[in-house]
Amino acid sequence: MLIEDDHGGPVSGAPLLTLTANHGGHWVHVRSVSKFLGPDLRVAVMAGDETTIARVEGRRLVGPAWVSRVLQQLVLHMWSSPGVERLLHRAEATYTRRRQALVEALRDTGIPGHGRSGLNVWIPVVEEVRTVQLLLEEGWAVQAGERSRLRTPPAIRVTTASLEPRDAVRFASALASTLVSSRRRTG
């Protein structure tokens, strides 16, 4: 079973890539609109092989699966509107600029940060919880990476959606100080 979840969509800063083209088994591709059209629009578009789609439709019939027709029409109108398309392109450029600013600010302080697309930057750390706590004391809210990783070493996930480039430098400096402080306390 192959499941692709494209929650960032047109504002992710990367073209849509799919592994489903030559996948002979069951597959589904889900594209939620809540990240790029609005969090209150709890609507997603789904495509998949015939059997998987039939199973999902069958499960929807068992529970409360009704999606407002008004929301569906609103999403359709927004997704096909040239004005919204221009806004999405502008959002993509803004998110890309913010993400790149953080990766560059981290690099300038000697901290590796990973984020080629999307709204987040992944930063390896020795201790996730301690780093999150120390950054919070400095006024920065980040997420421990534990919930977003399977086999990778500890890291924090920093959302750059509202992080202005000038603030990226301040964050990188605070993180560098936090990492030094954390090493002193554990070393």
The secondary structure element, H or E, covering residue 27 is strand 27-32
All domains of the chain in start order, with CATH: 2-80 (no CATH), 91-186 (3.90.1150.10)
Predicted confidence band of residue 164 (pLDDT cuts 50, 70, 90): very high
The CA dihedral of 152, 156, 160, 162, to the nearest 10 degrees, is 150
Predicted confidence band of residue 63 (pLDDT cuts 50, 70, 90): low
What pLDDT, on the 0 to 100 scale, is given for residue 166? 95
What pLDDT, on the 0 to 100 scale, is given for residue 64? 67
What pLDDT, on the 0 to 100 scale, is given for residue 157? 96
Could you give the percent of the chain with pLDDT greater than 70?
A: 88
Task: Judge whether residue 98 has pLDDT over 60.
Answer: yes
Alpha-carbon distance values, 45 to 29, 69, 72, 154 (Å): 8, 14, 10, 33
Task: Judge whether residue 78 has pLDDT over 90.
Answer: no
What pLDDT, on the 0 to 100 scale, is given for residue 67? 75
Closest-CA residue to 29 (of 55, 69, 50, 2): 2
The CA dihedral of 13, 76, 29, 93, to the nearest 10 degrees, is 0
What pLDDT, on the 0 to 100 scale, is given for residue 186? 55
Q: Which amino acid is at 3?
A: I
Distance CA 83, CA 67 (A): 25
pTM for the complete prediction? Answer: 0.78
Cα distance from N-terminal residue to C-terminal residue, the chain: 45
Residue ranges of alpha helices (H) inside 81-144 are 82-108, 128-137
Closest-CA residue to 123 (of 133, 110, 136, 134): 110
Report which DSSP code applies to 63: S
Distance CA 78, CA 76 (A): 6
Sign of the Cα torsion 162, 164, 167, 172 reads positive
What pLDDT, on the 0 to 100 scale, is given for residue 187? 53
What pLDDT, on the 0 to 100 scale, is given for residue 10? 77
Distance CA 142, CA 132 (A): 6
Of the candidate ranges 46-50, 116-120, 169-173, 179-183, the one whose mean pLDDT is the lowest: 179-183
Of the candidate ranges 35-44, 73-82, 121-130, the one whose mean pLDDT is the lowest: 35-44
pLDDT (tens digit, 9 = 90+) per residue, 81-91? 989 889 989 99
58/107: higher pLDDT: 107
What pLDDT, on the 0 to 100 scale, is given for residue 175? 97
The CA dihedral of 165, 167, 172, 178, to the nearest 10 degrees, is -160
